[in-house]
Chain A
């Protein structure tokens, strides 16, 4: 490279490619719709009225900006870097997912769509989608794997309260990838009136770029907040990665700041060498699934493998294509945390800060536990606290071998 590449705004290219990753690998039936969406989004991006509405909902409805909180006790506990938590769990619906849903919901309304569909794993994207659909008065169908319905009962009930129809997905392994297959099947059958709100920075172009842009509010705020607090940029950013939307939202506005280190934490399950994990970059190979080329968990014959994670939201055998590209560029460091490490970090965060994080987020905290102690106090580390853990109570109780029922 002769000069530093502009990592933040030049990609994807016109075909939706980040290097060789991304693209539009979808059935012909969907192509005209995807091209229309691309045009509509390009227009909305530069439309002051659309941006005004987006800012309005982000503020008064979602509750932005979310605080950048100095986690004093966590910092003392690890005894190294100064740890800041970007409090996305304080958003309406309890996670970063709503940032994207509001954006796509506005776009759906602008395009005159009459029906919203979405896939969900942990249920957070499903809840955020159901919320936006309720707010905009649109019927909503959420596809959710039966295995996930089992472990995320509370979110299923929340979605139903919000008026969404939950369709249990039994095909495959009944997790997030199967829910996404089923949502795509719905979309291809109802192309005329349906808007598919994809929950992460994956899927066919323009989704990875569009979801990234809607989530980038996280990084933009962090930048301004850190400048205000310390008069300089953070030294490192840490975020968990399933599809990778909260990480991309935090990282993207800093990509051209070469001094800012970025660490994405994949779900290591029972260990990347065990075969039971969801670490697509650390344990996968390039392939094509769900409309884009990216790193996938798959066998040598190109059959997609089951992901494994304690956290339903990270239980996906792929990753957003821009992450695949940043991985190959070496701009972002991608590591993994195991189920056990995440559970440990989960408890530390509860007890030290009085904040119950989502199990997804706990993976990022697990990396903080490894990294922060080795760094000086002057090192400013920002962790994306992407979601709250209320939904994970039963799961955590199960894994910690306790019976909450008895305690009640």
Chain B
């Protein structure tokens, strides 16, 4: 029994080595271009299925490199007001786990390169059924999962089964993750490391770049995985500053705010893609200054 499990594990590992994932390819390409990835967060089904579909499909053209798609949950304990409201809007318009997976499947029919990472809380996955969820997510073309309330202590719940399905489990490291704990956080991490820039909820106060740069540098000493930075990044200027020393910059609440304040679905699409373009331009140019200085 144990021997069989070991073989399965080896097969998965070998697969991962021979076929590089969309996330690996994405980061490899960006490394050649010497620029960080722009990661966007939107809640699936916000504000409604149709608008959400249009928002999602337009993200790569607007300049997003990696898509984080939120699975709405009624009780998002780690989110600030903007993403809380987004989840409620999505749920009120009838969003479900099944529909979220369907969105990814539809997206994959026209885009086979942009990585899609599902982000959310464990309960909707647990209720869907972990094995069923991972099977459906892998089939739909999901590349990774970020599940806020599953620390490494519960790796057997989802993190390890996800690896069996070839889905990356993206771990959050935070300002409270001390040296003693870091190895545990990194142990089963894959895809990239998401550094939570400030202790708090999403959409909160902006991090100070100096402290952040030190934290990212410290993380690099312990992992070869790319490091994304998120929480509190709202503007093109912030994204550029943080993009100079991180491998990816995550913007969520600022985009979700556009949806809240939009006059219509069309307006939401225009505003979100507009802000994404601005952020993308800024992120693409953020290391050029450094290069000029060096040359």
| Residues of A near any B CB (own CB < 8 A) | 15, 23-33, 35, 171-172, 177-178, 181, 184-185, 188-192, 285, 287-291, 293, 296, 298, 300-304
Known interface pairs A185-B78, A289-B75, A302-B126; A24-B199 also in contact (CB < 8 Å):
no
Q: In the assembled complex, which residues on chain A have CB atoms less than 8 Å from the CB atom of B127? A: 285, 287, 298, 300-302
Chain B contact residues: helix, strand, loop or mixed: loop
B side interface size, CB within 8 A: 42
**In the complex, residue of chain A having the shortest beta-carbon distance to the beta carbon of B72:** A303
- CA of A196 to CA of B27 in the docked complex: distance in angstroms? 40
Contacting pair A188 B201 (CB below 8 A): yes
Known interface pairs A29-B176, A301-B127; A185-B77 also in contact (CB < 8 Å):
yes
- CA of A291 to CA of B148 in the docked complex: distance in angstroms? 11
Q: In the assembled complex, which residues on chain A have CB atoms less than 8 Å from the CB atom of B200? A: 29, 185, 188-189
8 pairs, CB–CB < 8 Å, chain A vs chain B: A171-B81, A181-B75, A191-B199, A192-B199, A288-B121, A291-B149, A296-B123, A302-B128
Number of A-B contacts (CB under 8 A): 118
Q: In the assembled complex, which residues on chain A have CB atoms less than 8 Å from the CB atom of B181? A: 31-32, 35
Q: In the assembled complex, which residues on chain B have CB atoms less than 8 Å from the CB atom of A298? A: 123, 127
- CA of A181 to CA of B148 in the docked complex: distance in angstroms? 14
Select which of A25, A300, A304 is within 8 A of B150 by beta carbon.
A25
Judge whether B84 is part of the interface by a CB distance below 8 angstroms.
Answer: yes
Q: In the assembled complex, which residues on chain B have CB atoms less than 8 Å from the CB atom of A31? A: 151, 153, 176-177, 181
Select which of B75, B123, B177 is within 8 A of A32 by beta carbon.
B177
Judge whether B277 is part of the interface by a CB distance below 8 angstroms.
Answer: no
| Residues of B near any A CB (own CB < 8 A) | 73-78, 80-81, 84, 91, 96-98, 121-128, 148-151, 153-154, 171-178, 181, 185, 196, 199-201, 204
Contacting pair A189 B199 (CB below 8 A): yes
Q: In the assembled complex, which residues on chain A have CB atoms less than 8 Å from the CB atom of B151? A: 24-28, 31
Select which of B75, B98, B123, B177 is within 8 A of A177 by beta carbon.
B75
**In the complex, residue of chain A having the shortest beta-carbon distance to the beta carbon of B79:** A185
Contacting pair B154 A172 (CB below 8 A): no
Contacting pair B73 A303 (CB below 8 A): yes
Q: In the assembled complex, which residues on chain B have CB atoms less than 8 Å from the CB atom of A303? A: 73-74, 91, 124
Known interface pairs A31-B181, A302-B123; A24-B80 also in contact (CB < 8 Å):
no
Contacting pair A191 B77 (CB below 8 A): no
Select which of A25, A188, A291, A300 is within 8 A of B199 by beta carbon.
A188
- CA of A184 to CA of B175 in the docked complex: distance in angstroms? 17
- CA of A181 to CA of B128 in the docked complex: distance in angstroms? 23
Contacting pair A28 B74 (CB below 8 A): no
B282 to chain A, nearest CB (A): 28
B120 to chain A, nearest CB (A): 10
**In the complex, residue of chain B having the shortest beta-carbon distance to the beta carbon of A32:** B176
B229 to chain A, nearest CB (A): 15
- CA of A30 to CA of B176 in the docked complex: distance in angstroms? 8
